[in-house]
Amino acid sequence: MAMKVQLSRREFLKRSAMIATAPYLVSAAALGRDGKVAPSEKIIMAGLGIGNRGTHDLNWMIPEPDVQFVAICDAKKAQRQAVKNIIDTRYGNTDCKMYSDIREFLAVRTDVDAVLIATGDRWHALAATMAMRAGKDVYSEKPSSMTIAEGQGVVEAARHYGRIYQTGTQRLSEGNFTFANELVRLGRLGKVHTVRAHIAPWDAAEMRHDWLPAEPEPPKDEVDWDQWLGPCPWRPYNSEYTRGGWRGHHDFHTSCIGEWGAHTFASCQVAIDAWQTSAIEYQYVKNDSGDGMVTKFANGIRMILNREGWQGSAGGWKGSCGVCYEGTEGWVSIADGYSQPEVSNPAMLADFRKIVNDYIARTGRPMSHVRDLLDCIKSRRQTVANPVMMHRTMTTVHAANFCMWLKRDLKFDPDKEEFINDAEANRLRTRAMRQPWMM
């Protein structure tokens, strides 16, 4: 039988005071000490449509100490489970939640601060606007719009809802490409007159308008076909689409020009300080890819599209997503896989580290695209690959496609965002979106 202990009022108050003033232990993680990030300082994230490229992005983001991934939304069950496994393994638990419907996910997960969008092209702009409308910040893979109108919608959503947005043109946050851009800005190349942008050396500018033969549609929980299609016209199910076979189809893709042009046009337009505008002239070339197309900006600089690794008297590149900038005093060229840029005068490379470090100090931008996003989520300043930059450079992509599709030269007014005296080209600025998947 338990004994009752009688305490006087004085003894009770004495013991209560001792308890109140006694030291107690709190973990370093909870306090944000020893390099840990306090839970209250974590950016809570989720993935939308995480396939091959998205898995790369996820593995890029998840080691950041101030990030916590908590959910995955994907129309494919196998992909949902694969991403959950990655996240749970990283954190040593089974907490990652899975969703198949983006509408349910956005309605339920009010705790999520930001989303990683790595769907196919068709979903990028719509998912971004839906997420921003729901109060989420966004990292969207490229190409981040299928039409000029979609790009306008992303810009407006970010502005209206006060959201942070970063498109996946990560070369804007890499040392080699930053150095090349800074050579232009600093005048080290003299007066720049020509820039060259790599477009993908596969597929064509003119894409397929047919569709693959129908196959039996799987159970909705396995593949939600309606959700996978999203805003695109209804097409019969074919498993090849869900394995990446959507590329090269007009309904789903932005062509060989958009595939790499989303990267290289962004690099070129940032370099020549034209990221808030778009090219004004597009010269049609008689081939199936746009290789050799000359575009022109209002500042007089030409941007030439090149399909293969270009080699010429002013340098070139050997690799993917290459760019070359040519001026009156020299040239610089860079692509993926280079240890350092190629330049017309090796003496230019002597200041490589200083130029990159000066850029970091001047702009406050890290040489990490993901880190730039996370820092901007906290500070609420615009990212290096912000909505306007995305939209204006993708407008150049779309206009180059229209030039190839219509097989004639085009002139574009960036202020009005319309083609001059060309009703047919202007109709291409938007596409019908299938209900209920509309911006």
Question: What is the structure's pLDDT at 26?
Answer: 44
Question: What is the structure's pLDDT at 313?
Answer: 55
- Quote the tokens at residue 163: 């959201």
Question: What is the structure's pLDDT at 315?
Answer: 63
- Quote the tokens at residue 241: 């689409």
**Closest to 335 measured CA to CA, from 229, 201, 434:** 201
- Backbone angles phi and psi of 26, in degrees to 5: -125, 135
Question: What is the structure's pLDDT at 128?
Answer: 98
Question: What is the structure's pLDDT at 124?
Answer: 98
**Closest to 405 measured CA to CA, from 227, 253, 307, 284:** 284
- Quote the tokens at residue 176: 């080699």
Ranges of the chain whose pLDDT falls below 70:
1-35, 310-315
- Quote the tokens at residue 3: 């004994």
Rounded distance between C-alpha atoms, residue 405 and residue 393, angstroms: 19
- Quote the tokens at residue 113: 């601060």
Identify whether the C-beta of residue 64 lies closer than 8 Å to the C-beta of residue 37: no
**Closest to 389 measured CA to CA, from 374, 410, 372, 406:** 372
Identify whether the C-beta of residue 271 lies closer than 8 Å to the C-beta of residue 180: yes
Which domains does the chain carry?
Answer: 173-206+255-361+387-427 (3.30.360)
**60-63 long-range CB contacts below 8 Å, 24 or more apart?**
60/370, 61/116, 61/139, 61/370, 62/86, 62/87, 62/90
Specify the residue for token string 């997420």.
131
Rounded distance between C-alpha atoms, residue 281 and residue 82, angstroms: 45
Rounded distance between C-alpha atoms, residue 285 and residue 293, angstroms: 6
Question: What is the structure's pLDDT at 286?
Answer: 97
Q: Residues of 302-332 as b/e, b for ≥16 C-beta within 10 angstroms? A: bbbbbbeebeeebbbbeeebbbbbbbeebbb
Question: What is the structure's pLDDT at 393?
Answer: 98
3-class secondary structure per residue, the chain: CCCCCCCCHHHHHHHHHHHHHCCCCCCHHHHCCCCCCCHHHCEEEEEECCCHHHHHHHHHHCCCCCEEEEEEECCEHHHHHHHHHHHHHHHCCCCCEEECCHHHHHHHCCCCCEEEECCCHHHHHHHHHHHHHCCCEEEECCCCCCCHHHHHHHHHHHHHHCCCEEECCHHHHCHHHHHHHHHHHCCCCCCEEEEEEECCCCCCCCCECCCCCCCCCCCCCCECHHHHHCCCCCCCCCHHHHHHHCCCECCCCCHHHHHHHHHHHHHHHHHCCCCCCCCCEEECCCCCCCCCCEEECCCCCEEEEECCCCEECCEECCCCCCEEEEECCEEEEECCCCCCCEECCHHHHHHHHHHHHHHHHHHCCCCCHHHHHHHHHHHCCCCCCCHHHHHHHHHHHHHHHHHHHHCCCEEEECCCCEECCCHHHHHCCCCCCCCCCCC
Cα 385 to the center of its chain, rounded Å = 8
Question: What is the structure's pLDDT at 28?
Answer: 47
pTM for this predicted structure: 0.91
Distances (CA, A) of 28 to 31, 39, 45, 63, 65: 5, 11, 23, 18, 14
Identify whether the C-beta of residue 282 lies closer than 8 Å to the C-beta of residue 409: yes
